[in-house]
Amino acid sequence: MSDSARTQPPATRAPQPLAICRAELADESATSALAGALAPLLETGFVMFLSGELGSGKTSFARALLRALGHTGRVRSPTFTLVEPYNLSSFELYHFDFYRFTTDDEWRESGFDEFIGGPCVALIEWPERGAAGLPAPDLHLRLAYRDAGPQGRTAQGEAYSQRGLACLNAACAAGCCNSA
């Protein structure tokens, strides 16, 4: 082994998605349609990351997903509380928002790791803020503004597991995807 190989830390590679799909979300009803296509595929242990800049529609998507899962009450943004729990008929769902984490220590001390991949569904806004401690999700949805009009958004879905892949297939079957 060369000296440099001995002193270098092992290379860590970001996991590669099994598949990627893109969707144009012309307005909020398109966001709701996407959420409605994915909702039946969620099950205990499912982890979904929601990325995108401020106001790109992460909470709106989560709200539509919860509506599709039968939740009729309020859906508050967890930006200030960090997590909002929902006791749904099939499973518990925890809606996290890590925007306010500024260091990896804050994430580690939060104790949230118990819930992620545990016996519940986890939706995580701003996963980048807890990235060092987070496992790969089943599905990573990346939302972005679209140039045309204030309502336009785009979504890119990345599957990292077979059940994430099933979500992408369901979204495409529902006519939500523009390209795979």
User: Shortest distance, CB of residue 77 to ligand ATP, whole angstroms?
Assistant: 6
Decide which of ligand ATP, Mg ion, none touches 133; Cβ closer than 5 to 8 Å per partner kind: none
Burial of 120 (0-12, 13-18, 19+ CB in 10 A): buried
* Chain center to CA of 84: 15
Nearer to ligand ATP by Cβ, of 122 and 165: the residue is 122
- Any contact of residue 55 with ligand ATP (CB under 6 A)? yes
CA angle 169, 172, 177 (to 5 degrees): 135
Decide which of ligand ATP, Mg ion, none touches 27; Cβ closer than 5 to 8 Å per partner kind: ligand ATP
For 128-171, the three-class secondary structure string (H helix, E strand, C coil) is: HHHHHHCCCCCEEEEEEECCCCCCCEEEEEEECCHHHHHHHHHH
Contacts of residue 117, defined as CB under 8 A and 6 or more positions apart, other chains included, come to 45, 47, 135
Decide which of Mg ion, ligand ATP, none touches 25; Cβ closer than 5 to 8 Å per partner kind: ligand ATP
- Any contact of residue 154 with ligand ATP (CB under 6 A)? no
Decide which of ligand ATP, Mg ion, none touches 28; Cβ closer than 5 to 8 Å per partner kind: ligand ATP
Nearer to ligand ATP by Cβ, of 61 and 161: the residue is 61
Binding mask 84-123 for ligand ATP (x = CB under 6 A): ----------------------------------------
Stretch that binds ligand ATP, among 47-55, 87-95, 116-124, 159-167 (CB under 6 A): 47-55
Say if CB 61 and CB 34 are below 8 A apart. Answer: yes
User: Shortest distance, CB of residue 102 to ligand ATP, whole angstroms?
Assistant: 15
Helices (H) and strands (E) in the chain, counts: 5, 7
3-state secondary structure of 117: coil
CA–CA gap between residue 124 and residue 138 (Å, rounded): 12
- Any contact of residue 171 with ligand ATP (CB under 6 A)? no
Name the residues that contact Mg ion, by CB under 5 A: 58-59, 77, 125
